[in-house]
């Protein structure tokens, strides 16, 4: 699927907001019949545009009220270190995102923990699994905006 049309954009926008909508309601919102809506969703899934349908949880309600961004400078710049780092972060459930960055730091890790003691446990776990050159952390005091919704106004246009 190389081009996403206006109906696909409307459909994807609605699904990003609530993937649990009944097909009838979803179809009404985007101007499609229930069956046409289902066919489009299946095509978007087959094309890999829709990767998964998930439930978004309230972190505080499940005891993970502290979000932390961990800045990492690599201890080495070789394939072996990167593989070890990737394995360590992928295998750590508290880690919700890992990004290789430009600029002064090499990697940015986003994690969810219960509190500072839980962060310290996470930190100790990570440094035991992979050597890191320099590690610093910033803790989220207030979440002003967080969304999983991609801006689809012009997505897929050529």
Task: Indicate the helix (H) or strand (E) that contains 85.
Answer: helix 79-90
Residues 24 and 74 in one domain: no
Q: Give residue 153's pLDDT.
A: 82
Residues 41 and 77 in one domain: no
Residues 37 and 70 in one domain: no
How many other CB atoms are found less than 10 A from the CB of residue 91?
10
Q: Determine, yes or no, domain membership for 113.
A: yes
Q: Give residue 157's pLDDT.
A: 64
Q: Determine, yes or no, domain membership for 32.
A: yes
Residues 91 and 38 in one domain: no
User: Which domain range does residue 73 map to?
Assistant: 60-139
Output the domain CATH number for residue 21.
Answer: 1.10.10.10
Q: Determine, yes or no, domain membership for 29.
A: yes
How many other CB atoms are found less than 10 A from the CB of residue 85?
24
Residues 129 and 71 in one domain: yes
Q: Give residue 154's pLDDT.
A: 72
Q: Give residue 1's pLDDT.
A: 55
Number of Cα atoms under 13 Å in the Cβ half of residue 136 = 5
Positions of the chain with pLDDT under 50:
none
Q: Give residue 3's pLDDT.
A: 81
């Amino acid at each position: 699927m190389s081009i996403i049309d206006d109906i696909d954009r409307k459909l994807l926008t609605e699904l990003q907001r609530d993937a649990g909508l009944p097909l009838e309601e979803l179809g009404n919102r985007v101007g499609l019949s229930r069956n046409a809506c289902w066919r489009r969703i299946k095509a978007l899934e087959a094309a890999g545009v829709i990767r998964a349908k998930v439930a978004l949880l309230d972190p505080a309600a499940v005891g993970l009220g502290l979000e932390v961004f961990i800045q990492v400078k690599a201890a080495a710049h070789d394939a072996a270190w990167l593989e070890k780092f990737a394995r360590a972060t992928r295998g750590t459930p508290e880690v919700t995102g890992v990004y290789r960055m430009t600029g002064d730091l090499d990697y940015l890790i986003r994690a969810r923990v219960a509190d500072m003691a839980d962060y310290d446990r996470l930190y100790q776990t990570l440094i035991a699994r992979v050597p890191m050159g320099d590690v610093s952390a910033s803790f989220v005091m207030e979440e002003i905006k967080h969304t999983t919704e991609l801006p689809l106004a012009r997505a897929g246009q050529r």
